[in-house]
Structure 1
Amino acid sequence: MPTSPPSSALRRPARWLPVVAACAVAAGLLQSTYNVLANDYRLGVALSLVLAVAQTVPLPLAPRRPLPAWAIVFAADLVGGFVLLSVDGVEGRAWPWTPPAMIGYLLVTAAVGLRENRRRLLVVGAATGATAVLPAVFPTRQENATQLLLFLLTGAVLLLTGAVRERGEARRALAAQREVSEAERARRTVLEERARIAREMHDVVAHHMSVITVQADSAPYRLGGVPPETGEEFAAIAATARESLTEMRRLLGALRGTDGTGAGGGELAPQPGLAELDRLAEATVRAGVPVELSVAPGPVPVPGAVDLSAYRVVQEALANVVRHAPGAATRVSVASDRTGVSVLIVNAPAPAPGTPLESGGTGHGLVGMRERVRLLGGELDTGPLPDGGFRVAARFPVAAVPSGPSVSSGPSETDPAEEAPAP
């Protein structure tokens, strides 16, 4: 049987708390308003009860429908002020607003300020200020200028609650924009990483496909005395390889978001692999991070795509150590068997407390690692350690990737900074 999540179950009672509080306030004001009208202003029992109900019962409506609640209370207070003109108890007392009516009016005004826009707040303030002319039109012998006091208090309440509402709206809008920006940044990072992986895999796969094409085309000439049927078979193999190479380039071009026509020579530069980890470790040591490297060769050659991706994971992990934990001792272990390649990078906490080279991060490096590993059907596990260090573990299967020698023999990009993770 489906159940609602705990968070939604907790939010349901919270939505009713303002209504419950408004009901409690209305009940208290109902009694005090009746007593003031009946005893102090010497209004009749029936009229006192009717006015008390009209001025206080709409208060529970204010948390959900503040503007209608304000209109009802405002009209009831005005009617009450005119009714009080017919009794003798108004002399020397507050008019047209009784003390309980002022309290209820300020409360419903606060609800309006927290929910409505500026234009409606101006209408409420103007309507409240218009009551200041009532004593001039209907002169009484009352002593308290409550209309001016209420106008000032209403303006202060509207300013305060309006500022609180606008601040909350601004914070919500900023949080929503931040979420959109983070989502867009993460999406752009994934696309950039996919484009980079597509370029590198293009180099790896294109190498093997080109070798197949050349061997199939040259086989009849190299071998000599090849029967016509066999020559036709070699020609078919070469044609299929060329067609596959064209389709692969078109597919990878779509993955990169380009037309697949290729770019500069940097896209065709040889890519690094696990054989280049020694140079990567040396560059990291020069950046101030001691690195212990352990590479255990496996019984079978590592496929080029896995070789490159494993190198990239190590490179990004070491770059993160340089940026966020400078000087931390780091251990890199690479082992392979007949089923896959395992990569483990573990760094200790920074040797001395201090300001890291980058105090914050967007997590794009981890996003790139995860995307790279996922595309090869592998698994990635990252997270902090109890002693304050960090761990990155990746496992690349080799069964799902065509095997073959790694084609990496040089730097990864034309930018030399890519080789060394130093900041």
Structure 2
Amino acid sequence: LATAVYYVTSAYDGPLLLAVVVALFLVAAAGRLHAAVVIAALCLLGTALGTIRGNGDVNQVALFMLTGWFVAMITLGGLRHSHLARARETEERAAAQERLRIARELHDVVGHHLSLINVQSTAALRRLTKDPAAGADQATEALGAVKDASREALRELRATLGVLREAGEAAPTAPAPGLGRLGELTDAAGAAGLAVTVHRTGDTGPLPVEADLAAYRIVQESLTNVARHARATRADIHLDGVGCRLTVTVTDDGRGPAADPARTGPPGSGITGMRERARALGGDLTAGPAPGGGFSVRATLPLARTTATEEPRR
């Protein structure tokens, strides 16, 4: 408006039209494309009316060039807005994925060990209440398992929270959990009264770090669900490596969803988290009643094998 008033009332020319051009770019870059088009149209209309009424400073050629400038500025501003919007969307999506990854890690680590602590402490309390004299030794053993599980939970929790460290802080040096530590899971489950057997067929190692961690967490969460919900006495872990694919299957002999109301509802965050882990690697996971009774979790993970001369990714 100030530029229009100046050109109408002043007899002196000046580069004030550059301010209109810059304003059109800024308005379009802010995402106000309709407003930029309206402003440009009003400017062109006013200039055209001045030319028609005999203003010799702006002829038809100059009016055409001015139109091109306005269109170019609005286009560049719109492209700038689109670029910034895509950058913000990419950043927000990356932040959401990182939050999901951290939440998944915390759920797997804390949920697994707290479930074992709950089972062992409940067993110890029941034994002491039922027969304080005879149950003392069994309660002591259960409390020892609680101590080990809590120590392991704290260790893994510190490693997981390392991703939230302050800038400049040293990165955690502990290796990521993998199937090489499967014995720790089976020992912990055994201390909770669950007999776990591991069956390996085909080529099950070495695995890429991402697949190794995903397989470990899937087994960990599956055993957690067995201890919390299945009322099972036995669980079987099958690891089958064929080509560039690893199949992880965990079955139990407990009460399946059809018989146990606690497992009839929609999948909880544990099964959802396991499925997200598998899909993040391009695989898939299914969970449901096993044909012979109990519950079964089956995950298929694609692999990119590491060779003897390659360093595994960290």
Note whether the superposition's TM-score is higher than 0.5. Answer: no
TM-score normalised to the size of structure 2? 0.42
Quick check: which has more Rg, 1 or 2? 1
TM-score normalised to the size of structure 1? 0.32
Q: Higher strand proportion, which one?
A: 2
